[in-house]
Structure 1
Amino acid sequence: MKKYDAVIIGFGKGGKTLAGDMAGRGLKVAVVEKSDKMYGGTCINVGCIPTKYLILEAAKNRYKNFTSFVQYKDEYKKIIENKISLISSFRKKNFDNLDSKENIDIITGEGSFLDANTIEVKNKEGIFQISGDKIFINTGAETVYPPIKGLKESKYVYDSERIMELKELPKKLVIIGGGYIGLEYAGMYKNFGSQVVVLEGSPVFMLREDKEIAEEIKKVMTSRGIDIELGVKVLEIDGHNVIFQRDGKSETIEADAILVAVGRKPNTANLKLENAGVKINERGAVVVDDRLHTSQENIWALGDVHGGLQFTYTSLDDYRIVRSELFDNGEYTLKDRKIVPYTVFIEPQFSRVGMTEEEARKNGYEVKTAKMNAASPRMKISGENEGVLKVVVDGKTNKILGASLFIAQSGEIINTIALAMKANINYQLLRDGIYTHPTVTEIFNDLFGGIK
């Protein structure tokens, strides 16, 4: 049995970065990855990189003046082929980056625990064991399949990963779930030329977001031809038919493809964590402390597998927490991760950081707000005039409490607000900033200038 200083299960962002760091310090590392299609992790292969590529390419269709569905189908097939080629190159680069390091062994196979130091690996060659003084779980998350009759039996049902392999554009796509993933795919496939229907169980659209912003998002998406149905319960999938209930009445929609997008859960089912004494919670997430240790001191968990925010950049930040403990002063922990922005890549982009107005008031703050439409020279030049922006400020301290931006390129400028919040500076610094012109960022002059 081969022994390592560290064994990392999963080739995700946090794990691969940690592997490279440890190897560079002279430690012997094994990276165990179940699939040769997942080198680099979820983001590169089936998450943010391929989806954002497809979203960008789909958006170009709006300016191509297609007159038939056949034209959309041909363009879609070409883009999917390009996506496959693009992701293959990313995957190879990630594999080569680690494989080229002398102290790293990449082992393709399914890893599970025999005990707190021993991993059993199953692959095409057979079954064998490796051991590690330190073990890091980095297995990510997987699609949640709700208990809907006929869901798993229907050949028309896809998750967010498999639908990106579909080379035939569905004429009508029904999406079960109106969360962030569902909305991104709704906008993407509408631009690809599909008819799109979103079925959301909650009667409230984007329940966790600011109500004014959410209403504007719904209005824009609806104006583009996306059918968003709220407060419905999907009862059954019968082949290509989706049967759902609304106000006590049953309705049926025919679909060429059905996308399940009700969420993702930590991928822990086959790890045999009980053999290592590693605890999980009721949602299947690995329980960790503020240094990402599991219930076993020599085992850590990084990324989506320990629950919470499912972003590649928080997985990278998990690596920083581990690095701080192992190779630095250990001062940086999960407690320090207080301000995390995120972006939903609809059109225009929706980005958020911190609290909404309602959340701030519930937390006892004396709230000041400002709201404005997406009106700036940059927006007028590009013709991207849709959207609304809103910021929330502490009236006593002038510190920024949160921001919700539904505007083109909000994914870029939200990071500036997040940085200002992390630096604990007053909102006036953004209000009075000198920005290049014409840019999206200069809208901060007007937005924060509206604080009352």
Structure 2
Amino acid sequence: MNAFDVIIIGFGKGGKTLAAEFAKRGRKVAIVERSDKMYGGTCINIGCIPTKTLVHQAKIASGMKDATFEERSEFYRNAISVKEAVTSALRNKNYHNLADNPNVTVYTGVGSFVSSDVVSVRTSTEEIMLTSKQIIINTGAETVIPPIEGVAGNPLVYTSTSIMELTELPRRLVIVGGGYIGLEFASMYASFGSQVTVLESYPELIVREDRDIAASVKETLEKKGIVFRMNAKVQSVKHIEDGALVVFSDSQTGEVVELEADAVLLATGRRPNTKDLNLEVAGVETDARGAIIVDEYLKTTQPNIRAVGDVKGGLQFTYISLDDYRIIREDLFGDKERTTNDRNPVSYSVFIDPPLARIGLNEEEARKQNLDIIIKKLPVMAIPRAKTLGETDGLLKAVIDKNTGKILGCMLFAPDSSEVINIVAVAMKTGQDYTFLRDFIFTHPSMSEALNDLFS
């Protein structure tokens, strides 16, 4: 039995940052990661870093107006190589940041609980027992594979992870799922040169967003050549001689449609990755969606075990996992004032082209709460910087409390919105009146100065 001051299962953002924090304080740390391809976690290896690297490359590819498909395919192969170089370098750096620390031992294997203070690690060659009075779970989330006939074992069916290993640009790509992940990949592959069809089972796109924002997103993506089929219930994916045959029905009309594709991407959501943890023997409970239940200090139902990152459900962003680290750090070594209750509102961005960013309440949510609100809108075509970029599609929208002047929410579907939303976030977190942004002096020409006009 190998004893440690803390065991961390999972090498993600929160786990690796906590490992470094404990090690800095002289604690003996074990960090368990099931795959040598996942040192550093989801973001670095299969999430935000590789996807945003490809999004940037796709943006360049979108300017290749007169290129042949073969030329676009060659550019795509090079883009995959760029992505591989970025992720492998970061993975290696993350591994050595911990493995080279004398207070940290990295175990590559599958971790599972034997009891509330013992973890078994099954490596490729042996089973190792670790024990600690403090354990942190950071195993992230996994792709949901829908029960569609012909999906299992089909070499032409991909997840958001495996498609980024595909070195040949698919001429025809069918994406099952029109959520944020599906739209991001649709925008990316359309820019590379694929003919993209998105099959969405709901009658409306991105139902969490206001209809005017969703309509602007759909219209802009359709200009890229992306085809949307709403109310599409996928029945099967067959491997045929020339590719894949996707069969779906229209849930409103009953019409059955067949689509040929060179690749099929499943973008049907993610769920907490807990299946191998054997949580029951440790006394750790999960909710109906399989997410680990935690309190405001990220303690599970077994107080000596905590959970950070996507495995506990909620917003699945690397910066949430980093904030989880801060909460535990302050609880163990600080003033205990940081909790999960004090970090809202949190902004997010979807890296379609242009990006969609949001923070706080949208109009529909505010009206459901019977709030007295003012709605502000600004078309992107009215922004000088957007005209200089030649990117005038999109819409900016803000929700303001009529009585207090406080910003309740903001939605930005515009170039550079993933950066500009942080300005709005700072204003909201510091309790500024909307006039703070209306009258702020921004550089010109910039996308951030559009906030002057949006809040006017």
- Give the Å deviation of 1:164: 0.2
Q: Please give the alpha-carbon distance, in whole angstroms, between the structure 2 residues aligned to 1:385 and 1:372.
A: 11
- Give the Å deviation of 1:250: 0.9
Per the alignment, residue 56 of structure 2 pairs with 56
Per the alignment, residue 171 of structure 2 pairs with 171
- Give the Å deviation of 1:298: 0.2
Q: Percent identity?
A: 50
Q: Please give the alpha-carbon distance, in whole angstroms, between the structure 2 residues aligned to 1:101 and 1:31.
A: 12
Q: Please give the alpha-carbon distance, in whole angstroms, between the structure 1 residues aligned to 2:81 and 2:370.
A: 52
- Give the Å deviation of 1:94: 0.7
Q: 1:422 aligns with which of 406, 423, 429?
A: 429
Per the alignment, residue 149 of structure 1 pairs with 149
Per the alignment, residue 284 of structure 2 pairs with 278
Q: What SS class does the counterpart of residue 254 from structure 1 fall into?
A: strand
Contact 2:175 2:266 survives alignment (8 Å)? yes
Q: Please give the alpha-carbon distance, in whole angstroms, between the structure 2 residues aligned to 1:187 and 1:235.
A: 25
Q: Please give the alpha-carbon distance, in whole angstroms, between the structure 2 residues aligned to 1:163 and 1:387.
A: 28
Contact 1:303 1:310 survives alignment (8 Å)? yes
Q: Please give the alpha-carbon distance, in whole angstroms, between the structure 2 residues aligned to 1:82 and 1:433.
A: 39
Relative to the length of structure 2, the TM-score reads: 0.97
Per the alignment, residue 133 of structure 1 pairs with 133
Per the alignment, residue 303 of structure 1 pairs with 309
In the alignment, residue 188 of structure 1 is paired with which amino acid? M
In the alignment, residue 373 of structure 1 is paired with which amino acid? P
Q: What SS class does the counterpart of residue 116 from structure 2 fall into?
A: coil
Contact 1:170 1:194 survives alignment (8 Å)? yes
- Give the Å deviation of 1:153: 3.2
- Give the Å deviation of 1:337: 2.2
2:383 aligned with 1:379? no
After the TM superposition, which parts of structure 1 deviate over 3 Å for at least 4 consecutive aligned residues?
none
Per the alignment, residue 320 of structure 1 pairs with 326
Q: Please give the alpha-carbon distance, in whole angstroms, between the structure 2 residues aligned to 1:447 and 1:380.
A: 16
Q: What SS class does the counterpart of residue 148 from structure 1 fall into?
A: coil
- Does 134-143 or 332-341 show the bigger shift? 332-341
Q: What SS class does the counterpart of residue 32 from structure 1 fall into?
A: strand
Runs of at least 5 residues in structure 2 that lack an aligned partner in the other structure: none
In the alignment, residue 402 of structure 2 is paired with which amino acid? G
- Does 59-68 or 297-306 show the bigger shift? 59-68
In the alignment, residue 65 of structure 1 is paired with which amino acid? K
- Give the Å deviation of 1:376: 2.1
Contact 1:109 1:122 survives alignment (8 Å)? yes
Per the alignment, residue 85 of structure 1 pairs with 85
2:208 aligned with 1:208? yes
2:376 aligned with 1:347? no
Per the alignment, residue 448 of structure 2 pairs with 441
In the alignment, residue 146 of structure 2 is paired with which amino acid? P
Per the alignment, residue 402 of structure 2 pairs with 395
CA-to-partner distance for each residue in 1:249-299, whole Å, 9 max, x for gaps?
Answer: 211101110000010000000111111111111211111111111110100
Q: What SS class does the counterpart of residue 62 from structure 2 fall into?
A: helix
Per the alignment, residue 31 of structure 1 pairs with 31
Contact 2:361 2:399 survives alignment (8 Å)? yes
In the alignment, residue 238 of structure 1 is paired with which amino acid? K
- Give the Å deviation of 1:210: 1.1
Q: What SS class does the counterpart of residue 397 from structure 1 fall into?
A: coil
- Give the Å deviation of 1:423: 1.0
Contact 1:73 1:168 survives alignment (8 Å)? yes
- Does 401-410 or 233-242 show the bigger shift? 233-242
- Give the Å deviation of 1:99: 1.8
Q: Please give the alpha-carbon distance, in whole angstroms, between the structure 2 residues aligned to 1:342 and 1:97.
A: 28
In the alignment, residue 269 of structure 1 is paired with which amino acid? K
2:245 aligned with 1:244? no
In the alignment, residue 185 of structure 1 is paired with which amino acid? F
Per the alignment, residue 411 of structure 1 pairs with 418
- Give the Å deviation of 1:100: 2.4
CA RMSD of aligned residues (A): 0.9
Q: Please give the alpha-carbon distance, in whole angstroms, between the structure 1 residues aligned to 2:101 and 2:154.
A: 44
Per the alignment, residue 188 of structure 2 pairs with 188
- Give the Å deviation of 1:187: 0.6
In the alignment, residue 55 of structure 1 is paired with which amino acid? V
- Give the Å deviation of 1:65: 3.5
Contact 2:397 2:411 survives alignment (8 Å)? yes
Change (3 A) 1:81 1:52: same
In the alignment, residue 355 of structure 2 is paired with which amino acid? Q
CA-to-partner distance for each residue in 1:305-356, whole Å, 9 max, x for gaps?
Answer: 0001000000111111111110111111111122110000011110000011
Per the alignment, residue 253 of structure 1 pairs with 259
Contact 2:191 2:224 survives alignment (8 Å)? no
- Give the Å deviation of 1:66: 4.1
- Does 32-41 or 119-128 show the bigger shift? 119-128
Contact 1:200 1:228 survives alignment (8 Å)? yes
Runs of at least 5 residues in structure 1 that lack an aligned partner in the other structure: none
CA-to-partner distance for each residue in 1:130-172, whole Å, 9 max, x for gaps?
Answer: 1112000000000001111111132211000000001111110
CA-to-partner distance for each residue in 1:206-259, whole Å, 9 max, x for gaps?
Answer: 101011111011011011100011111111111211110012121110111000
In the alignment, residue 138 of structure 1 is paired with which amino acid? N
Q: Please give the alpha-carbon distance, in whole angstroms, between the structure 1 residues aligned to 2:397 and 2:383.
A: 15
Q: What SS class does the counterpart of residue 372 from structure 1 fall into?
A: strand
Q: Please give the alpha-carbon distance, in whole angstroms, between the structure 2 residues aligned to 1:336 and 1:62.
A: 41
Q: Please give the alpha-carbon distance, in whole angstroms, between the structure 1 residues aligned to 2:268 and 2:195.
A: 20
Q: Please give the alpha-carbon distance, in whole angstroms, between the structure 2 residues aligned to 1:61 and 1:101.
A: 41
Q: Please give the alpha-carbon distance, in whole angstroms, between the structure 1 residues aligned to 2:222 and 2:451.
A: 28
Contact 1:55 1:188 survives alignment (8 Å)? yes
Q: What SS class does the counterpart of residue 422 from structure 2 fall into?
A: helix
Q: Please give the alpha-carbon distance, in whole angstroms, between the structure 1 residues aligned to 2:338 and 2:357.
A: 26
Contact 1:210 1:404 survives alignment (8 Å)? no
Relative to the length of structure 1, the TM-score reads: 0.98
- Give the Å deviation of 1:108: 0.8
Per the alignment, residue 432 of structure 1 pairs with 439
In the alignment, residue 369 of structure 1 is paired with which amino acid? I
